[in-house]
Chains A and B, each alone.
Chain A
Amino acid sequence: MYAYSEFDKSFLASRNAQFRAQVERRIAGHLSEDEFKPLRLMNGVYLQLHAYMLRVAIPYGTLNSAQMEMLARLAEKYDKGYGHFTTRQNIQYNWPELRDIPDMLDDLERVNMHAIQTSGNTIRNVTADHFAGAAADEIADTRPVAELIRQWSTDHPEFQFLPRKFKVAVTGSPNDRAVTRAHDIGLRMVERDGTAGFEVIIGGGLGRTPMLGKVIADFVPREDLLPYLEAIVSVYNLLGRRDNKYKARIKITVHENGLEKIRALVEERFGAIKARFSGIDQQILKSIEASFAPPAFKKSDTAIFEESRAKDPVFRSWADTNLHPHKAEGYSIVTVSLKAHGATPGDASGAQMRVLADIAKRFGHDELRISHEQNVILPHVHQSHLPDVHGILKRHGLASANIGLISDIIACPGMDYCALATARSIPIAQQIATRFDDLKLEHDIGALKIKISGCINACGHHHVAHIGILGLDRAGQESYQITLGGDHTETAAIGERAGPGFSSAQIIPAIERLIAAYLEMRLSEDETFIQSYRRLGMAPFKAALYPEKAQENAA
């Protein structure tokens, strides 16, 4: 893993000292809120419904055990004992007091972490495939490139006042687990003539105007990547609209100007700046790559894994849903569900974080990942340790066998915390999970992605869900709109709105009707919800959602 250089350390120390002084001046009354707000946002501090919120970046979702332990410590010392992992591979603390935040940032600094550029109109935390460096299907570990992008974008003098926020996601696998087509820039590692480079996608985004990104370059060699990214952001910085917040994202810039014009401008800018990079970025990348060298994978017997699988049905169920193929023989990638039925998606207590850190230390080559799906990953676990790992997880409420199933729901904090929300998300996720757990239908239903956002900004990725739920305020009541057929993978698609919204009392029965219709209509147990939807289209699902309407039409 990357460890901070002396440069990083002194930069962060001085930045934290600056923010401490800014907080002191705000409390002493020397700074007004208007003056202070942009400063706190640059350091990840929001003011939410009930309290301040500190958003800490987990670059490309990678953590070691010491960092996870520090996150636990922050939860216990400055918050109410828990933290919330988000769809952008960040962690949010919901209850810090303003006075404590500089101390929290100092604590984070000790483990090479910060909250810089987790807010504001800057390049945000770079996200990546949460299985990077471990997945059997990847071309290469993309984290060194993601780290290079982090270093380039952090405090980049030209990009501190962009027209709007800017999000970059990277995947090294043809199976896109980083939702690259829903980002301002998505990077997909591809190979050409045996060398790895990147397909560059721009102008994707969710929010009020969901759009899938478009390929601006089908192959950019690795050594050209940074100047090419700089060219894109620099073109956007000049061309992006600053007159209207809702038209300021690069997706609108691309939409209004056309991909061809943007591509021509980017190529021109790239030509002008490429020489300035002089290869120094490639030297830096080399040293970063060394720090991401794969761990020393051991070779040993995996018989105990097979034995446990054969004799313990609870372990087998967990192993069948929560494990993913690893590139090293005898290893598995473990996804630890933060979606226990009825729990808040993405929340982990300080105690749970410590347990995860401890497992990573003892059984996981000291590595952890946070997925955009709000779960925790142990990327490198030898299969002989899986029964022990499962046993520990079980004792701490972390062994839910539901990855990729109906209760593995993405939910934004919604109006339980967020000042922007128009309705709650969390209770809807809790009710769906407990309802289908009660019905004991979860495993029968199979692979299904439900994603819930509490406002049109779509932090909960509802547009790319098989079943998306958007919470709105309709005449002073919480109302939930359903979209169907979205897809967050390499076959990305924006879901289609099914019809009028449902009240908070109607939404769970509506989801139940939808699932019942799917179970009824699927060709076999192997046909997933999204496959049925693609085969049959919206009509039969709409009829299930709105039975009165369907009856009227039939009459």
Chain B
Amino acid sequence: MPRSTHQFTPKVITANALLEGDVVYLTERDCWTRDLREAALLTDEADAELRLLQAEAQTGVVVGAYLAEMAAGTHGPEPVHFRERFRRNGPSNYLHGKQERI
């Protein structure tokens, strides 16, 4: 694959869990967590691409894995885009989804 010349920005691998449909993130130890703070923040493009391939292969566990842009925060990765903020938190009209457990 040709390496692009652009600056790679940090990302996490995220997907939805097959059974619950819940948002999940890949950790350093290549297992899935429901908590973004525990996700591995990937800063190397080649590493990110490879891990995404491995994540996509886990079709019995997750659906629709992709790389989502994040910034390093004091408590782990923080979403850059509002869509990922909603995925992390849950809907804004009820305290449902992930915010039920926070």
Is A252 positioned at the interface, with any CB of B under 8 Å from its CB? no
CB–CB B94/A80 < 8 A: yes
Is A224 positioned at the interface, with any CB of B under 8 Å from its CB? no
- Residue of B19, B80, B91 ringed by the most chain A CB atoms within 10 A: B91
CB–CB B18/A50 < 8 A: no
Of A25-33, A208-216, A316-324, A534-542, the segment with at least 4 beta carbons within 8 Å of chain B is A25-33
Is A287 positioned at the interface, with any CB of B under 8 Å from its CB? no
A interface, how many residues as a size bin? 20 to 34
Question: Using an 8 Å CB-CB cutoff, how does the interface string of A74-103 with B read, 1 for contact, 0 for none?
Answer: 000000100000000000001101110000
Closest to A429 in B: B93
Given contacts A29-B60, A47-B16, A50-B97, contact A476 B82 (CB under 8 A): yes
Residues on the A chain within 8 Å of B22, using CB: 50-51
Given contacts A50-B21, A51-B20, contact A416 B86 (CB under 8 A): yes
Residues on the A chain within 8 Å of B92, using CB: 416, 424, 426-427
Return A5 CB to nearest CB of chain B, in Å: 35
Closest to A35 in B: B59
Is A477 positioned at the interface, with any CB of B under 8 Å from its CB? yes
CB–CB A47/B93 < 8 A: no
Q: How far is the CA of A476 from the CA of B79 in the complex (A)?
A: 11
CB–CB B93/A48 < 8 A: no
Residues on the B chain within 8 Å of A427, using CB: 92-93
Q: How far is the CA of A97 from the CA of B17 in the complex (A)?
A: 10
Residues on the B chain within 8 Å of A49, using CB: 23, 83, 86-87
Is A106 positioned at the interface, with any CB of B under 8 Å from its CB? no
Given contacts A29-B60, A80-B96, contact A416 B91 (CB under 8 A): yes
Q: How far is the CA of A415 from the CA of B81 in the complex (A)?
A: 12
B interface, how many residues as a size bin? 20 to 34
Q: How far is the CA of A476 from the CA of B20 in the complex (A)?
A: 28
Q: How far is the CA of A33 from the CA of B98 in the complex (A)?
A: 24
CB–CB A476/B64 < 8 A: no
CB–CB A50/B19 < 8 A: no
Return B69 CB to nearest CB of chain A, in Å: 10
Given contacts A47-B21, A50-B90, A97-B20, contact A415 B83 (CB under 8 A): yes
Given contacts A80-B94, A97-B21, contact A47 B82 (CB under 8 A): no
Given contacts A29-B60, A424-B92, A426-B93, contact A50 B82 (CB under 8 A): no
Partner of A47, one of B64, B86, B96, B97: B64
Residues on the B chain within 8 Å of A426, using CB: 91-93
Q: How far is the CA of A426 from the CA of B19 in the complex (A)?
A: 27
Is B42 positioned at the interface, with any CB of A under 8 Å from its CB? no
Residues on the A chain within 8 Å of B23, using CB: 49-50
Partner of A99, one of B16, B19, B59: B19
Residues on the A chain within 8 Å of B16, using CB: 47, 51
Residues on the B chain within 8 Å of A430, using CB: 93
Return B17 CB to nearest CB of chain A, in Å: 9
Q: How far is the CA of A477 from the CA of B83 in the complex (A)?
A: 10
Is A417 positioned at the interface, with any CB of B under 8 Å from its CB? yes
Q: How far is the CA of A471 from the CA of B81 in the complex (A)?
A: 15
Is A478 positioned at the interface, with any CB of B under 8 Å from its CB? yes
Q: How far is the CA of A67 from the CA of B21 in the complex (A)?
A: 27
CB–CB B93/A98 < 8 A: no
Residues on the B chain within 8 Å of A344, using CB: 93-94
CB–CB A478/B82 < 8 A: yes
Q: How far is the CA of A473 from the CA of B25 in the complex (A)?
A: 24
Name 29 interchain pairs, CB-CB below 8 A, sorted by A.
Answer: A26-B18, A27-B19, A29-B59, A29-B60, A33-B64, A47-B16, A49-B87, A50-B21, A50-B23, A50-B90, A50-B96, A50-B98, A51-B22, A52-B21, A80-B94, A80-B96, A94-B91, A94-B96, A97-B21, A98-B18, A98-B20, A98-B21, A344-B93, A415-B83, A416-B93, A417-B91, A426-B93, A473-B82, A476-B82
User: Which 3 A-B pairs have CB atoms at the shortest separation, nearest pair first?
Assistant: A416-B91, A51-B21, A52-B21
Residues of A within 8 A of B (CB): 26-27, 29, 32-33, 47-52, 80, 94-95, 97-99, 344, 347, 415-417, 424, 426-427, 430, 473, 476-478
